[in-house]
Amino acid sequence: MVSARDIMSPNAQCVGEKDTLVDAARLMAGLDVGALPICGEDERLKGMLTDRDIVVKCIAQGGDPARTTAGSLAEGPVITARAEDAIEAVLELMQEQVRRIPVIDDHRLVGIISQADIAQTMSSEATGATVEEISADLP
């Protein structure tokens, strides 16, 4: 059985919940990524932050990204996969219009699965179906 751990990008980096959006944007730029998990001081996952969140939920609303924390944009429950979950379960989660899935083990972030990870490891049929579902009805 192929598990989430088998296809995830390991060593995902978090932005701290008390870090500013400027700090988050710099980290995203340095890592060349468009999203980061938000972790608390307890190293537990608090949410996900995207570059779009920074623009739409802060800057476009007149907020100050140098004063706004990443944790203030963490909304709702975080959809995660467990490291031992079968990849089929992860694909089902992603088909609920989730582009990135943080992977946890014992409540700690151990990796992240993105569309690129799916494309690099799964069949073209599985990749196509997942991307089609993720993209359906998105703005």
Domains held by the chain: number: 1
Mean pLDDT of 38-52: 91
Indicate the helix (H) or strand (E) that contains 105: strand 100-105
pTM over 0.85: no
113 in Cβ contact with 119 (< 8 Å): no
Mean pLDDT of 91-114: 86
Q: How far apart are CA 73 and CA 88, in angstroms?
A: 30
Q: Which of 105, 134, 74 is nearest to 10 (CA)?
A: 105
Measured CA distances, 102 to 56, 61, 82, 84, 120 (Å):
22, 28, 9, 13, 17
Range of the domain at 32: 4-135
Query: What's the sign of the alpha-carbon dihedral 45, 35, 88, 79?
Result: positive
Q: What is the CATH number of the domain that holds 12?
A: 3.10.580.10
pLDDT of residue 54: 97
Mean pLDDT of 84-99: 85
The first and second tokens of residue 75, run together, are 């909304």
pLDDT tens by residue, 69-81: 999 998 878 889 9
The first and second tokens of residue 35, run together, are 């999203």
